[in-house]
């Protein structure tokens, strides 16, 4: 009998929590996701995210840093902004200079954000851009 009372109480509590969550919807905006595998990929992500923190008006932009391992060759790093591929770089097994690559990726991301905002606000351009 006690188990049934605990079960009933648990169900009532769960319903009250779910109703509270629906009333106060939480919206997450402006994520930078790390899908890297190697040490160099994590270092690239860390450098990029540190620069991303200083970028103003980036709260409505989602960035994914994705790494693919290429056997015997190294890795391929991709930066996607709002599901659009904007930057690709290849890193050997021994790595290489990260600072220049991180800065190039950041400039590409800023350019992609500016182009997306221009497309949204400009009624003169057709969807194809011509």
Is residue 4, in this structure, part of any structural domain at all? Answer: no
Is residue 19, in this structure, part of any structural domain at all? Answer: no
d(CA 120, CA 99): 32
List of residues 6+ apart from 43 with CB closer than 8 A: 98
Give the domain extent around 96.
32-121
pLDDT digits (tens, 9 = 90+) for 29-67: 678 889 999 888 999 999 999 998 888 777 788 899 999
Is residue 100, in this structure, part of any structural domain at all? Answer: yes
Structure tokens at 70: 């290429």
Residue 42 vs residue 13, higher pLDDT: 42
pLDDT digits (tens, 9 = 90+) for 97-130: 889 999 999 999 999 888 887 766 555 555 555 5
Is residue 22, in this structure, part of any structural domain at all? Answer: no
Is residue 2, in this structure, part of any structural domain at all? Answer: no
Q: What is the largest CA-CA distance in the chain?
A: 73
Instruction: Give the strand pairing for 63-70 and 32-35.
Output: parallel
Is residue 93, in this structure, part of any structural domain at all? Answer: yes
What is the domain count for the chain? 1
């Amino acid at each position: 009998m006690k188990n049934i009372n605990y079960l009933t109480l648990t169900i009532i509590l769960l319903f009250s929590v779910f109703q509270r969550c629906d009333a106060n919807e939480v919206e997450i905006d402006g994520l930078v996701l790390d899908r890297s595998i190697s040490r160099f990929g994590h270092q690239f992500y860390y450098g990029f995210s540190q620069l991303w923190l200083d970028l103003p008006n980036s709260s409505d932009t989602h960035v994914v840093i994705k790494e693919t391992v290429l056997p015997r060759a190294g890795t391929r790093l991709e930066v996607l902004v709002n599901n659009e591929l904007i930057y690709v770089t290849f890193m050997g097994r021994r790595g290489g200079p990260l600072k220049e690559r991180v800065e190039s990726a950041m400039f590409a991301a800023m350019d992609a954000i500016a182009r997306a905002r221009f497309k949204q606000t400009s009624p003169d351009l057709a969807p194809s851009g011509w």
